[in-house]
Amino acid sequence: MNIKLYHTPETRADRVRWLLHELDIPYKLVPIDLFSGQTNTAEYKKIHPHGLVPAIDIDGHVMFESCAICHWLTDMFPDKKLAPSLASTDRQQYEQWMFYAPAMMEPPLWENYLHTRLLPESNRVAEIVPWNKKRFNKVKSVLETELADKSYLVNDRFTTADIVTGSVLMWNSSELDDYPVLRGYVQRLSERPAFAVMTDAK
Ligand SMILES: N[C@@H](CCC(=O)N[C@@H](CS)C(=O)NCC(=O)O)C(=O)O
């Protein structure tokens, strides 16, 4: 299998890269500079129609959406045991957390990034920021309770669901003071050899 990952450091492409190292499969990294206009070309739009990262090319078949890529790669390599099998009762929990990350965790953080940094000041809505903080605090409380008596989300075994949820928590790592369980979780995840390889290589 020939894999090419279109990647920019410190973006959602990192979660795919982390997973590729957990799976221990060879791949080619295609560095993408988001600020050079490279993603706004007709050539790159054939890879990702929105001009975003990540995207992945697998034997000439291109796919985008980081969590979908993680989900697919995990199922393609079942011997690596990074997801419970479809027949296992743990699979429900696995699917739940895989979708929780992009559906419940990312939107409040991303919206606040837009309304505090990315949008022109005249387009920012200040009132949305505390509301989103509240939404994300709820996410953190849910995960704090979930992980209180275990190291990983699904039946206490490391899975790709920890990569996707962990990678979003890492965006917010400076605001985990009131969440000791999550601080420990993020620390544990960042000490994994596959995670270290990814950050060393940046
Ligand atoms: N839902 C998509 C989001 C992709 C996305 O927004 N990527 C950001 C980096 S994290 C990007 O490429 N931003 C560049 C831009 O907005 O021009 C995914 O998870 O892959």
pTM of the predicted protein model: 0.96
Mean pLDDT of the chain: 96
In this prediction, residue 197 carries a pLDDT of: 77
Determine the residue of 7, 10, 52 to mutate for testing ligand 1's pocket, defined as the one with the most ligand atoms within 8 A of the Cβ atom: 52
pLDDT in tens, 87-145: 999 999 999 999 999 999 999 999 999 999 999 999 999 999 999 999 999 999 999 99
Q: What's the fold here for domain 3-82?
A: Glutaredoxin (3.40.30)
Determine the residue of 53, 63, 113 to mutate for testing ligand 1's pocket, defined as the one with the most ligand atoms within 8 A of the Cβ atom: 53
In this prediction, residue 200 carries a pLDDT of: 60
pLDDT in tens, 160-199: 999 999 999 999 999 999 999 999 999 999 999 999 876 6
* Domain residue spans of the chain: 3-82, 90-192
Please classify residue 165 by burial: count the beta carbons closer than 10 Å to its beta carbon, then call 0-12 exposed, 13-18 middle and 19+ buried: buried
The CATH architecture that domain 90-192 belongs to is Up-down Bundle (1.20)
In this prediction, residue 131 carries a pLDDT of: 97
In this prediction, residue 199 carries a pLDDT of: 65
